[in-house]
Structure 1
Amino acid sequence: MDRDKHNRSRFLPAFAYKWLPQKLSKVARPLYKALILVFLLAAGTWLVYFSGGTSFAFPYVLLLPVLLSASWFGLPGAILCSITAALLIGPWMPVDVSAGTDQITRTWLTRIAFFLMIGAFAAWLFRRLRQANQRYLQALNIDQKTGLLTQAALTQDLEKLLQSSSRDNASPSALLLLRMEDLWEVLQSMGVDTAEQVVKDIALRINNKLQVPHQIYRYSRSELAIILPDCTQDKVGSVFKVVQQVGDNQSTVNGISLRVQFVAGSYLIGENDDNTNTVINHARTGLSAAIEHHVPYLPYDPAFDQHIAERVQLIGKVRDGLVNQEFQLFYQPKICLQTGQHLGAEALLRWFNPENKMIMPGLFIPKVESTTLIDPVTRFVIARACEDIKSQQLASVSLNFAVRNLMDQSLISELGKMVSSYGVTPESLEIEITEGALIQNPEQAKAAVDSLREQGFKVSLDDFGTGYSSFQYLAQLPLSGLKIDRAFVIDLETSANARTIMASMISMARALKLEVTVEGIETEAQRKMVTDMGAELAQGFYYSRPLPLSEYQLWAKDYCHQQELSSRYRDEAKV
C-alpha cells in the first residue's frame, strides 16, 4: 500500500488541497489543478485591471496561483506560472487604467524576476517540506528496530479496508491480535535489543509460514496484529494455529534458544463496521477474554462486552460497598494434624450486595488486586480482623496480601502500629503472600518480608507449588511457613505420583523449618495421608467451610467440645 502518497495531503498546508475533490482519477487530478490555476490567474488579472492598474496593491494577488503551482507541480510549474502571472500584469497592463499610463519596461521585468524568485523559493520550500513529511511518515508507519509496520499503519490500512468493504460489498476481512506472553521475561533478563530481535524473528517466521494474504504489524511492545483480507472465522483459527507452531518451534536469538507463547483474540470485520477503533477494541476484547479464561485464542463475542461492562460496574461499586458495610470476613478453621486442636483460621473476604446476595469472590477480588482499590480493601480486612480478634478473643488469624500490598512500603512499615492500635499483637496475625510477588520483584518482596518478620508477624507462602520461583527463594526468605495448594490434594487417594510430590514438598519444608499447612482437605483419607507425611496444619471442607463470625464461634465451641469428649473417651479406654 502506498501510504506516503495516501497521507501526503494530511501533512502539507491545508490550502494546497482544499479545492481538490477526493474521488478524482490520477489523470483528471492534474487537469483539475491546472483549471484552478487558470481561473485564479484570470480572476487576478481582472481584479488588477478593474481596481485601477498595477499602481495599487492588488497585483500581488497573483502570487496565490504561483504558490499553488509550486506546491502542486514543483519547480517547473512554479516557473511557468510565475512568468505567466507576471506577463499578465506586465507590458499590457497600465500603471493607472483611468489615466492610460503604461508601465516602464524595467518595472514589469523586475516583477517577473520577483515572481520567479518567489515561485522558485516556494517550490524549494514545498519540496523540503514534502521530504520531511516522507521521513516523518516512514518513521510513523515503520518500526525502526524491527522494520515492521506500526500501529499508525494498521489504523490507516483498516480505514481503507473499511471504506472498500462498505463500498464494494467485499468478503469479510479479519483482524488477529497476538500477544507474546513471555516477551517481558526476555526483556528483563536479556535486555531490550534481544527482545526486539525476538519480535523481528517471530514476525519474519510467521510471514514466511502463512500461505494466505496477510499483513503483519507491530501493535505494541509485546503485541502483533495481522490483517487477513477475504477471511472466515475458521481461516482465522487456522492462521492462529500456524502462529502457535511458529512460537512453539525453538528459535535462536543472539546464541540463545527461545520459545514464545502466544495468546490471541480476533474480530471478523462486517460490512456495517466503519470505525477502526471499534474493530481494534473488539479484537482486544477477544484477547482479554482468552487471557481471563486461560485459553490461547478466542474470537470476539458480543457477550464479552456485557461481561466486561458488568465487571467494570461491579468494581466501581467497591468503595461504596466499603462505606455501606457490605463486606464481611468469613473464617475457615485451621487444625493441628497431630493433636486435632483448633489453632486459628484464615480470614476470607465476602461481599453481600444491598439485596443481601453474595457476590462471588472470583468476580471482584482478581480485579481489585490489580488496582489501587486493593489498599482500602486490605486495610478494611486488617481492621475488621483485629476488631474480631480483640472483641471475640479469636486465636491466630491469617490474612491474604496481594502483590500490590507487599510492594506498598507504607502499608508494610506501619502494619505493626496499625495492629497495635486495636490492642492486638503482631503474633496474632499471619500474613499469607503469593508467589507472584516473588516473581515480580524479588528484592522488594524480600525487604517486605524482612520488615514484617522484624515487626513480629508470621509470614507464609500461599498456594505453594503453583508458581515458578518457590524453590529458588524459600531458602532466602525469612518465612515462617508455607501453604500447599489444594491442587496437590485432589488426587492423593488415587495417584502414587501425587502422594510422592506431596511427601517431597512437606519433607523439603520441614528441612527448612517451615510450618506446613495443607489446604483443601475434604476426606478422612486425605487428612490421614498428610498427617503421616508430617504436615502440621490442615484446612478444608473436611473440617468446615468458611463461616461468618457468629457461626465460626459456634463451630469452634462445638469442635472444642467434641475434642474434649474424644479425649475423655480415649483416656477411659486406656484405663
Structure 2
Amino acid sequence: MAEQVEHRRSVELDLRAALENQELDLHYQPIIACDTGAVMGVEALLRWHHPLYGSMPPAEFIPIAENAGLLPEIGEWVLGRAMTDSKRWPQLQVAVNLSPVQFRHVDIETMLRQLIVKHAIDPSRFVLEITEGVLLESTDRVSKVLAAIRDMGFRTALDDFGTGYSSLSYLCNFQFDTIKIDRSFISNMSKVDSSKTIVKSVVTLGRGLGMDIVAEGIETEFEAIMMARFGCTEMQGFYFSRPLPVTQLIDFLKTYEPKPMQPALEPIKAVGGSLAG
C-alpha cells in the first residue's frame, strides 16, 4: 500500500509538471460517415508520455488527476489545444470530452465563451461529449448548461450510451445532437443476439428522435457493415484508424480513400458464426 501511495504521489507531481510544461498531447481518431465512407470528423483523445513509465493510459493517470484537483485545468487545456489543432483540418468536426468534474467545479459557459474568442473558432465545428454520469447531477443545472452550450453553437453528444445509468428519460429531458454507442455492445454482436438487438434498437430510437448515431470501437468489417445496415450515421475504431498524432493524422487525411459501407443484402460472415441482418 505504501508503494502504491508513493507511486500515485510521484505520478501526480510529474503530471503537474507535464501540464505546466506543455508535455501532454492529443491524438485524434477519425470518424467515418457510413453512407459515403468519408472522414467527417475526429475525436480528440488525451495522451501522456511519462518520462519514466513511457506511454501511460488515461485510465491510469486521469483518476490521479481527479483526486489532485487537476481535471478542470487539464480539461480546459484539452479544449484549447483541440481548437488550435482544428485549424489544420477546417473541413472536419472535432469531438472533445467534457468530464463530470468540469460540470461540478467549472463555469463551463464562461470558459467556452473565452476559448471561442481566444482561438477564433466556429463552435458549430465542435461536438462536446458528456457521459451519463453527468446527468446524475442536478437535473436543472445540467439542463441549463447543456442548453447554453448549444445556444453558443456547439453540438452535444451523449457518450458511452448504455453503459451507465441509462434511462430513456435522458433523451427526453436533455437535448443531444448525437448518441455514441459503446464498444462493449458492438463487440458482442457476433456472439450474442441480444447485443445485436440492443444496438439496432438504440440506432432506431436515436434516428427517430432526429439524432446522429456514432458507433465506437469498430474493429472488423462485420461490425462496420452491420452498423451501416442498422442505419448508423458514423463510425470510428481501429478498423479505420487508431488515434493519431497531429502530423500522422494529416498524412492519413491525404492518403485515405473512402470506402462506403453499403448495407449488404447477403448474410455477413462473422468470427465464430454468422448473422443475417
Q: Scaled by the length of structure 1, what TM-score is found?
A: 0.44
Aligned residue in 2 for 1:533: 230
Contact residue 337 and residue 537 of structure 1 kept, 8 A: yes
Query: Counting helix residues as a fraction of each chain, which structure ranks higher?
Result: 1
The aligned counterpart of 1:348 is 45
Task: Answer with 1 or 2: which has the greater Rg.
Answer: 1
User: CA 1:393–1:486 in structure 2 vs 1: closer, same or farther (change >3 Å)?
Assistant: same
Q: Which residue of 441, 462, 470 corresponds with 2:138?
A: 441
The answer as to whether partners of 2:12 and 2:68 remain within 8 angstroms in 1 is no
Using the TM superposition, give the Cα deviation of residue 371 of structure 1 relative to its aligned residue in structure 2, in angstroms: 4.7
2:164 partner letter:
G
Contact kept? 1:464, 1:470, Cα under 8 Å = no
Shift, 1:370, TM fit: 4.9
CA 1:526–1:383: 2 relative to 1, 3 Å: same
1:464 alignment counterpart: 161
Runs of 4+ in 1 over 3 A off after TM superposition: 391-394
- For residue 22 of structure 2, what is the aligned residue in structure 1? 325
* Deviation, structure 1 residue 515: 0.8
1:393 CA displacement: 3.2
Query: Over residues 255-294 of structure 1, what are the superposed CA-to-partner deviations in whole Å (9 max), with x where a residue is unaligned?
Result: xxxxxxxxxxxxxxxxxxxxxxxxxxxxxxxxxxxxxxxx
Partner of 1:387: 84
Task: Report the AA paired with residue 119 of structure 2.
Answer: Y
Q: Name the counterpart of 2:179.
A: 482
* Secondary structure, counterpart of 2:120 in structure 1: coil
Cα deviation for residue 316 of structure 1 reads 2.6
Alignment partner, residue 271 of structure 2:
none
1:507 has 2:204 as partner = yes
Matched, 1:428 2:122: no
**Alpha-carbon offset, residue 407 of structure 1:** 2.8
Q: Is the 8 A contact 1:489 1:520 kept in 2?
A: yes
Structure 1 residue 355: Cα displacement: 5.7
* 8 Å CA contact 1:435, 1:470 repeated in 2: no
- Whole-Å separation in 2 of the counterparts to 1:388 and 1:394: 12
Contact 2:72 2:106 in 1 (8 A): no
1:398-451 deviation line (CA, Å, top 9, x unaligned): 111110112345232330331232121111111000111111322221111111
Counterpart Cα distance in 1 of 2:77 and 2:90: 19
Counterpart of 2:78, as a letter, is V
Q: 2:8 aligns with which of 277, 295, 311?
A: 311
Between the two proteins, the alignment pairs up a number of residues equal to: 260
More strand by share: 2
Q: Distance in 2 between matches of 1:483 and 1:534?
A: 13
Match of 2:268 in 1: none
How do 1:343-382 residues align onto structure 2 when only pairs under 5 Å count?
Answer: 343-354=40-51, 357-382=54-79
Which one scores higher on RCO, CA 8 angstroms, separation ≥ 6?
2
Q: In the TM superposition, what is the alpha-carbon distance from 1:477 to its structure 2 partner?
A: 0.7
Q: What is the alpha-carbon distance in structure 2 between the residues aligned to residue 315 and residue 502 of structure 1? A: 39
RMSD across aligned C-alpha pairs, in angstroms?
Answer: 1.8
Distance change in 2, residues 1:323/1:414 (3 Å)? closer
Amino acid at match of 1:449: L
Q: Show structure 2 runs of 5+ residues with no match.
A: 261-277
- 1:338 counterpart letter in structure 2: D
- For residue 450 of structure 1, what is the aligned residue in structure 2? 147
Q: CA deviation at 1:470?
A: 3.3
Code of the aligned partner of 2:59: G
Q: Residues of 2 paired with 1:334 and 1:388: CA distance?
A: 16
**Post-superposition CA distance 1:461-484 (Å, at most 9, x none):** 111001114312111112111101
Unaligned runs of 5+ residues in structure 1 are 1-303, 568-575
- Paired position in structure 1 for 2:263: none
Within 5 A, what are the aligned runs for 1:93-492?
304-354=1-51, 357-393=54-90, 395-408=92-105, 410-492=107-189
Whether contact under 8 Å (2:108, 2:145) holds in the other structure is no
Paired letter, 2:45: L
What is the TM-score normalised by the length of structure 2? 0.88
Deviation, 1:369, is 3.6
